[in-house]
Structure 1
């Protein structure tokens, strides 16, 4: 079995009397999509924040690409190739599609955004951004103002920005949020192919997408992982059915 690209061991985080994460141990293996599901308030956002470096655990550790990154910042983890996309878009809506991706590439180089304007003519930066746009199928929209994109196209653009990091893994926080059935289906197909670029840790409420995409699923309830397994394992689990999926699963 291949070594995990991303792994948590015993992550625990409390906010006063609330235990938001309790001894959470999960891993992400090369070439897979590992979905994290759970009801609202299960602790998914807290877990992702600890994995990506926005929140320090009270105990436990995070390992990425063979190294302990628990003490590293969000930016430091990103520079190592941990690419995150957000539930709520963090794109610059008044900038063009190409400019947004160039901003991502600029950040990946560790250069501050206040020097963005002079580097618009940087050929290397532009080529990196254009290659990412081609990868996600948005080359024809390079000059389009980001606010004019559809919701699904913005999700693709976020992935293009993440690709400028040359990611070793993606962490995606509800990429299907706000999409209709058609948009969700298109994005599902896109993400299915993206796993060959880098494995994906996927937090998602759209169960059709989860069941279509996931190689493994971990179920988080009240900060604890109550089950991890294949789609079939999770569908057939009485514990998961009772705690989360319901009788219609």
Structure 2
């Protein structure tokens, strides 16, 4: 079995009496998409927060390429190669597409955030930003104001920003949110190709996308992983059908 690129071991996080994650152990291997699914309130956002560094676990570990990163803050994990995209866009809407990508490149080079325009005169940063935009198909839109992009294009730009980090793993929080059928299908195709660059831990409610993309699926209910396996194993699991999938299979 391939060695895990990203791994959690026994993650626990409570908010008062609520156990948001309860002994969660999952792994992400090279070249794969591992989907995390579950009903609202299952603890998916809390899990992603712990993996990315936004939340400190009460117990357990987060490992990136075998290195314990549990104590590292968000930016340090990003520099180590953990790239996250968000359910709600974190882009600077009044900046251009290239300026947004350049901000990601700044983080990749470990430089403090500052004025974007002078930064764009740095050839290394501009080249990395433009290479990421070309990878997601947005190079021709680099001078556009981000607010003028379609919703799907903004999702692509978020991936481009993540790509400037030259990530070892992606953590994606509901990338299909707000996309129509056509946009979801287009992004599904793009993510299918992206896994060859870095594996993807995918939190997603769009089950068509999950079943089309996932090599493995883990089902989170009330903070615990109740099942983990291939698409067909998850489809057939009676506990998963009762807790989450219902008639969707």
Taking structure 1 as the reference length, what is the TM-score of the superposition?
Answer: 0.99
Aligned to 2:195: 195
Aligned residue pairs, count:
249
Aligned to 2:12: 12
Alignment of 1:219 onto 2:219 = yes
1:116 alignment partner in structure 2: 116
Task: Return the offset for 1:148.
Answer: 0.4
- Deviation for aligned residue 1:123: 1.1
**Aligned residue number for residue 135 of structure 1:** 135
List alignment gaps of at least 5 residues for structure 1: none
After superposition, the CA RMSD in angstroms is 0.8
Q: How does 1:60-71 map to 2 (within 5 A)?
A: 60-71=60-71
* Structure 2 counterparts to residues 13-52 of structure 1, below 5 A: 13-52=13-52
How far residue 241 of structure 1 moved from its aligned partner, in angstroms, is: 0.1
Provide the residue aligned with 1:125 in structure 2.
125
C-alpha deviation, 1:114, in angstroms: 2.1
Q: How far does the alpha carbon of each residue in 1:94-120 deviate from its partner, in whole angstroms, 9 at most, with x for none?
A: 011011000110122222222433222
**Helix, strand or coil for the counterpart of 1:84?**
strand
1:178 aligns with 2:178: yes
Q: Provide the C-alpha distance between the structure 2 equivalents of 1:247 and 1:120, rounded to a whole number of angstroms.
A: 51
Structure 2 residue aligned with 1:101: 101
CA distance, structure 2, for counterparts of residue 23 and residue 10 of structure 1: 4
Q: What's the offset of the Cα at 1:80?
A: 0.5
Aligned to 1:77: 77
Q: Distance in 2 between matches of 1:115 and 1:246?
A: 50
Deviations 1:181-233 (A, max 9, x none): 00000000000000001000000000000000000000000000000000000
Give secondary structure in 2 for the equivalent of 1:113: coil
- State the secondary structure of the residue aligned to 1:247: helix
> 5+ residue gaps in structure 2?
none
Hey, what's the Cα distance between the residues in 1 that align with 2:238 and 2:100?
45
Task: Work out the CA distance in 2 between the residues paired with 1:58 and 1:126.
Answer: 40
Given the two structures, how large is their TM-score scaled by the length of structure 2? 0.99
- d(CA) in 1 for partners of 2:27, 2:3: 9
Matched with 2:55 is: 55
Deviations 1:51-104 (A, max 9, x none): 011111111111111100100111110001000000000000001101100011
| Residue 129 of structure 1, CA deviation | 0.6
Runs of 4+ displaced beyond 4 Å: none
Structure 1 counterpart of 2:159: 159
